[in-house]
Amino acid sequence: MASSSMLKLNAASSSWIAGHQSFNQRPGSAGPLRSRRVSVIRAGSYTDELLKTAKSIASPGRGILAIDESNATCGKSQLQMERSSWTVCKMRILYPGIKVDKGLVPLPGSNNESWCQGLDGLASRSAEYYKQGARFAKWRTVVSIPCGPSALAVKEAAWGLARYAAISQDNGLVPIVEPEILLDGDHPIERTLEVAERVWAEVFYYLAENNVVFEGILLKPSMVTPGAEHKEKASPETIAKYTLTMLKRRVPPSVPGIMFLSGGQSEAEATLNLNAMNQSPNPWHVSFSYARALQNTVLKTWQGRPENIEAAQKALLVRAKANSLAQLGKYSAEGESEEAKKGMFVKGYTY
């Protein structure tokens, strides 16, 4: 893999992303102490491959398979155990990857908030995952609106995501950047927009500080919705409007793809909201990376019984087809089951 170089702005010139004061500027001064400059930063040897992989994953008709690193057992990594599945994935144009964070723990000095651990040893682990066939990584952290969020929690979330992204790219893995803004709370959609803009501004500021190549990442954001306990629900058109407003204000068009999480919405809600966002062209491919909103009806249909497997497979195909159409803006909720319309929000939900 040939190495390549990319032009990127240094810390002073990247400050527009977060609305931060430049590190080269004294408080209260009118401008930076020295002139703004453009640095030539040599990208890693994986850059060309990262750009190709991220663009391919973000293209309609592609898929990904994420394996949870924490599920390794018996001294043998789950990656090794899943190699045969990965071969099938590649045949079906799926990209294998791995969740590399070590989960959420309490953040000292915060307002009962959390931070995500897992940076220790991440470089060596990522290098090994790449050798075994992984081509992307996933790292989930969360921000809670009822808890503030505090400046400390937002900065910790953004910095952790940026370090993870830089380490992943340095080892050939496309990082999926996921700061989930939890649905908990009774706040209006305007408050969610305010917090989302703040969080994503901080995230991209620190991504730039860590020389992350924006063309070689993927985003997994929350949709901008009212808090789950807010007295008024928002329509798909309203959620699409606020979400796209946030993205256009904060996400550079060089990012190839945005794959939304569902975060406790019902299956139908998540699909309708995605569909509303794709009624007009966007700078990025706007798609989905749902868990509960893709699996809920399937798991309830299956119930772990062999005789229900075929029915569960059909239920999965229904949800997959619905969201496939939604990413093209061609979905209709006509014929959706009552189960698909049931909300899945759980206050204080963890996994």
Contacting residues for 91 by C-beta, under 8 A, at least 6 apart: none
From the list 148, 150, 147, the residue with the least C-alpha distance to 158 is 150
User: Is 197 designated active site?
Assistant: no
Q: Which of 69, 82, 138, 220 is catalytic?
A: 220
Residue pair 313/262 in contact (Cβ under 8 Å)? The answer is no
Q: Please provide residue 143's backbone torsions phi and psi, each rounded to the nearest 5 degrees.
A: -130, 130
Residue pair 118/104 in contact (Cβ under 8 Å)? The answer is no
User: Is 220 designated active site?
Assistant: yes
Alpha helix ranges (H) inside 132-291: 151-170, 189-209, 236-250, 267-277
Q: Which of 69, 113, 178, 336 is catalytic?
A: 178
Residues 197, 249: Cα–Cα separation, whole Å: 8
Residues 135, 172: Cα–Cα separation, whole Å: 7
CB atoms within 10 A of CB 229: 13
Residue pair 164/207 in contact (Cβ under 8 Å)? The answer is no
Catalytic amino acids? Answer: 178, 220
